[in-house]
Amino acid sequence: MMRVTFIHADGKGRTEVEAAPGSILLDVAQAHLMPLEGTCEGQMACSTCHVIVAKEDFDRLPLASEMEEDMLDLAAGARRTSRLACQILLTEAMDGLTVHIPSESRNMQGPR
């Protein structure tokens, strides 16, 4: 198991969770009630799973595909270290990963 920390949209709260390597970050987030819709179910047809990866962790992730970069252009509040959680396959090398839920994030589906 590995550790992932989600910084809440208010910038104050944080949720630390354990995840299995090979998990998709969006699935882990949703399992722990983080407000990420993932409306397109990982098909990169939306940007509702947009997260901001901590600067110190960003280089540990594989580069985003051109298609993911295009979707991030549509994400509210996108930053240089923004990624789509549906495209992050967790590996042991990412243990301790910290991601921020954007303050612009709105989960219209409500808690899962």
DSSP string, 15-78: EEEEE-TT-BHHHHHHHTT-S---TTTTSSS--TTEEEE-HHHHTTSPPPPHHHHHHHTTSTT-
CA angle 62, 68, 74 (to 5 degrees): 135
Torsion over CA of 90, 93, 94 and 96, rounded to 10 degrees? 130
pLDDT at site 111: 45
Quote the pTM value.
0.90
Residues of the chain with pLDDT under 50: 107-112
